[in-house]
Amino acid sequence: MRVAVTGGGGFLGSHLCEALLRRGDSVVCLDNFSTSDPANIAHLLSNPSFELQQTDVSVSVEVTGHVEAVAHLASPASPPDYLRQPLETLAVGSRGTENALRLARRHGARFVLASTSEIYGDPLVHPQDETYWGNVNPIGPRSVYDESKRYAEAVTAAYHRAYHVNVGIARIFNTYGPRMRPHDGRVVSSFITQALTGEPLTVYGDGKQTRSFCFVDDLVRGLVALLDSSEMGPFNLGNPAERTVSELAEIVLEMTGSASEVQYHPLPEDDPVRRRPVITRAREVLGWEPEVDVTEGLRLTIAYFGARPAELGVSAAA
Ligand code: NAD
Ligand code: UDP
């Protein structure tokens, strides 16, 4: 099929484009590269089944020719990125999602939304299944992301009810892997970059907060399964193996053999205390579950970062 992928130049989007091309689909990638490096998809430009449109999807989403599916991934995703671009984040979650839904409606196409575990906010229920409605501060600094994704889910559900658009919602939990930007500020990329350059690992708060980390290949398999289905969900897509941030720091130090120290910094406002997905629904309905454990996933990610010392910064030789 021919698939429009908004945010297709980003970390997850570029892996999704590759996965679709690998199985014979055609891809139209729409991206403004506001939080990504065009190098992510440079190797795809010579593929006749791949088209790139450099465009702001908050303004419009137009594609020449027919598409059978729309995967809407465009949005800043790393906290430093969305805190730096608060209004752009709200715009792409609202107007960008509406524009992408309109494209799907015009084409009678399947629509998949990349939503997030952040819609659960700082959850009062643990672990989180899809019936939980969340605990989000609507005016806190993270709200530009959380609330725009909650709106994106709402408008996606409304397009389904009002216009019978064939929609699916993926609630993605923390995902890591090759092509994360070394300095994107997310915890996995930050710790690996710091460990490889001999800089201190910056643990926020006391490091006892938890996240559940999913390797990118697993996540992309889940997105493809959702694209191929006609299920709405929402579906939690993530790896339920939960770890504290301090544990992650220790694992990264051990796996890189780094002598970096651990430094403690204040916890950002409204930083969720714990997060772990219940993935029963995805397992039962989509037949999906993660396969890559954190040791293997980190090994592949560390190897990717290690092969790019110039991008890691100053003391890469340390
Ligand atoms: P990313 O920043 O690498 O990718 C996002 C892409 O969207 C970038 O290429 C960026 O340039 C593009 N983009 C942003 N605003 C745009 C606009 N207005 N017009 C066109 N393109 C625009 O982040 P990612 O980790 O690949 O995240 C992809 C999607 O998955 C996002 O919607 C994010 O909210 C969601 N998600 C990711 C994670 C994760 O852990 N990686 C977790 C939950 C949800
Ligand atoms: N974090 C940290 N050090 C960093 C970056 C992040 O301790 O250098 C913490 C952050 O406060 C949060 C967790 O790691 O508790 C995950 O942060 P990330 O930005 O990767 O994802 P999110 O907060 O969106 O889940």
pLDDT tops 90 at residue 239: yes
For residues 218 and 153, the answer to whether their CB atoms sit within 8 Å is no
Residue 25 Cβ < 6 Å to ligand 1: no
For residues 14 and 31, the answer to whether their CB atoms sit within 8 Å is no
pLDDT at 203: 98
How distant, in Å, are the alpha carbons of 107, 188, 237, 275 from that of 110? 9, 32, 18, 29
Residue 268 Cβ < 6 Å to ligand 2: yes
Residue 79 Cβ < 6 Å to ligand 2: yes
For residue 292, name the pLDDT band (cuts at 50, 70, 90).
very high
pLDDT tops 90 at residue 112: yes
pLDDT tops 70 at residue 306: yes
Mean pLDDT computed over 152-163? 98
Nearest atom within ligand 2 for CA of residue 191: 8
In sequence order, the 6+-apart residues with CB closer than 8 A to the CB of 262 are 200, 201, 203, 207, 246, 249, 253
Its pTM stands at: 0.97
Give the residue, by CA position, lying nearest to ligand 2 atom 24: 79
pLDDT at 315: 45
In the chain, the amino acid numbered 156 is T
Residue with tokens 């506001």: 34
Average pLDDT, the chain: 96
Residue 9 Cβ < 6 Å to ligand 1: yes
Catalytic residue list = 145
What is the interface pTM, i.e. ipTM, of the complex?
Answer: 0.99
User: How many angstroms does the Cα of residue 31 sit away from the middle of ligand 1?
Assistant: 9
Residue 264 Cβ < 6 Å to ligand 1: no
Mean pLDDT computed over 299-317? 84
For residues 144 and 90, the answer to whether their CB atoms sit within 8 Å is yes
In sequence order, the 6+-apart residues with CB closer than 8 A to the CB of 284 are none
Q: In whole angstroms, give the CA distance from residue 105 to residue 222.
A: 23
For residue 178, name the pLDDT band (cuts at 50, 70, 90).
very high
**Can you give the C-alpha Rg of the chain in angstroms?**
19
- The dihedral through the CA atoms of 126, 129, 132, 136 has a sign that is positive
Report pLDDT digits (tens) over 20-43: 999 999 999 999 999 999 999 999
Report pLDDT digits (tens) over 255-280: 999 999 999 999 999 999 999 999 99
Residue 239 Cβ < 6 Å to ligand 1: no
pLDDT at 313: 84
Nearest atom within ligand 1 for CA of residue 175: 40
Q: Which residue in 156, 153, 118, 113 sits closest to 135, CA to CA?
A: 118
Mean pLDDT computed over 207-225? 98
Count of CB atoms within 10 A of residue 303's CB? 10
Of 57, 73, 89, 98, the one to substitute when testing ligand 1's pocket (max ligand atoms within 8 A of C-beta) is 73
For residue 231, name the pLDDT band (cuts at 50, 70, 90).
very high
Range in 121-125, 160-164, 278-282, 307-311 with the lowest mean pLDDT: 307-311
Of 116, 149, 187, 276, the one to substitute when testing ligand 2's pocket (max ligand atoms within 8 A of C-beta) is 187
pLDDT at 16: 98
Give the closest ligand to the alpha carbon of residue 173.
1
Residue with tokens 């037949």: 287
Q: Which residue in 86, 94, 151 sits closest to 118, CA to CA?
A: 151
User: How many angstroms does the Cα of residue 251 sit away from the middle of ligand 1?
Assistant: 26
Alpha helices in 108-215 (DSSP H): 143-163, 187-197
pLDDT tops 70 at residue 213: yes
Count of CB atoms within 10 A of residue 50's CB? 21
pLDDT tops 60 at residue 288: yes
For residues 36 and 237, the answer to whether their CB atoms sit within 8 Å is no
pLDDT at 314: 53
